[in-house]
Chain A
Amino acid sequence: MLTMFAFSVFSFAQNKPKLSDPEVAFVAVTANQIDIDFAAIAKQKSKDAGVIEFANTMERDHKAVIAQAAALAKKLGVTPKNNTVAKGMLTDAEKTKKSLRSKSGAAFNKAYIDNEVAYHKAVIAAVENVLIPETDNSELKQLLQNVVPALKAHLMHAEMLQKNYK
């Protein structure tokens, strides 16, 4: 079930749909919000210090990115626009959240961290291969480029933790 989400986002990155800047902004905010939602479930369900610490970092960092995206959209006078890509991501995220909520204990910790690895891999691919190339506005493009090192650090952190939850 958890790999389904990653597959969907990867296919979106491979299909390279045409997106306007307001649509790119909406997809970027949606991608961050989905990981905040995953973190909320982890904080609710896990008792593991490593998992909770990681979830806190995901929540703090992705909220910071959303705040910067919102500030930039306001500055540029752009209203993020919902689109089929974002809708597809949210549908897949609901399935993943349902699957996560059905687990507990060690099984939950493993499922959450495995999903974080898959999700960050998928989002990095989507940002690098679709969102950045599709963006026209230079400031929005720069913001997306600035986010990539954070996503890669999150991925490395999740992979580091993954060794503890086999």
Chain B
Amino acid sequence: MKSRFDQTINLCALLVFVFLMTSCAQPVKKIAPKSYTVEIKAMQFQPAELSVKKGDTVLFVNHDMLVHNVTETKTKAWGSPSLAPDDSYQIVVNKSSDYYCSLHPVMKGKLVAE
């Protein structure tokens, strides 16, 4: 038969254990999506290859002297309208894709979603 003192000690120990468990268990932090920029300059996408996390945002900014666009290569799944100098176009990256400028097909780029 445990004494009242022993019962109190056990209760305190239990409370300390529960406190420690709850205070140590951190909620899972969600990483906020990041934003990246790809510049269109001197007839190139810079950087030509960019690795991002799924859900990150990529902003394409036309800093060239000519009109360009950004078009997904394989099935044209996504694409910008014509971008005049200083125009921009933003996408949320959900999967890896190759892209190009359909007006100047030698301009190519790649997004890698990790």
Please give, as numbers and ranges, the residues of chain B lying within 8 Å of A106 by CB-CB distance: none
**Chain A contacts for B42, CB-based, 8 A:** 146, 149
Q: Is B20 an interface residue (CB 8 A)?
A: no
Asked whether, in the complex, the Cβ of A57 is within 8 Å of the Cβ of B65, the reply is no
Per-residue CB contact flags for chain B residues 79-114 toward chain A (1 = under 8 Å, else 0) read 000000000000000000000000111110000000
Contact with B along A121-134 (1 / 0, CB 8 A): 00000000000000
- Any B CB within 8 A of the CB of A156: yes
Which chain B positions have C-beta within 8 A of A157?
Answer: 104-106
Chain B residues positioned under 8 Å from A68 (CB to CB): 65
CB-defined contacts of A146 to chain B, threshold 8 Å: 42, 65
Chain A residues lying within 8 Å of B106, measured Cβ to Cβ, are 153, 156-157, 160
Contacts of B66 in A (CB 8 A): 60-61, 64-65, 150
Say whether A74 faces chain B, with CB atoms less than 8 Å apart: no
Q: How far is the CA of A150 from the CA of B105 in the complex (A)?
A: 12
Interface contacts (Cβ under 8 Å), in number, total: 34
Determine whether A152 belongs to the interface, using a CB cutoff of 8 Å to chain B: yes
B67 CB–A CB distance under 8 Å:
yes
Per-residue 0/1 for B38-72: is the Cβ within 8 Å of any A Cβ (1 yes, 0 no)?
Answer: 00001110000000000000000000011100000
Does A153 lie within 8 Å of B43, measured CB to CB? Answer: yes
Give Cα distance in the complex from A152 to B106, angstroms: 10
Residue pair A60, B105 in contact (C-beta under 8 Å): no
Q: A150-B65, A150-B66 are in contact. List 13 more A-B contacts (CB 8 A).
A: A60-B67, A60-B103, A61-B67, A64-B65, A146-B42, A149-B43, A150-B43, A152-B43, A153-B104, A153-B107, A154-B104, A156-B106, A157-B104
- List 30 A-B pairs, Cβ < 8 Å: A57-B103, A57-B104, A60-B66, A60-B103, A61-B66, A61-B67, A64-B65, A64-B66, A64-B67, A65-B65, A65-B66, A68-B65, A146-B42, A146-B65, A149-B42, A149-B43, A149-B44, A150-B43, A150-B65, A150-B66, A152-B43, A153-B43, A153-B104, A153-B106, A154-B104, A156-B106, A157-B105, A157-B106, A160-B105, A160-B106
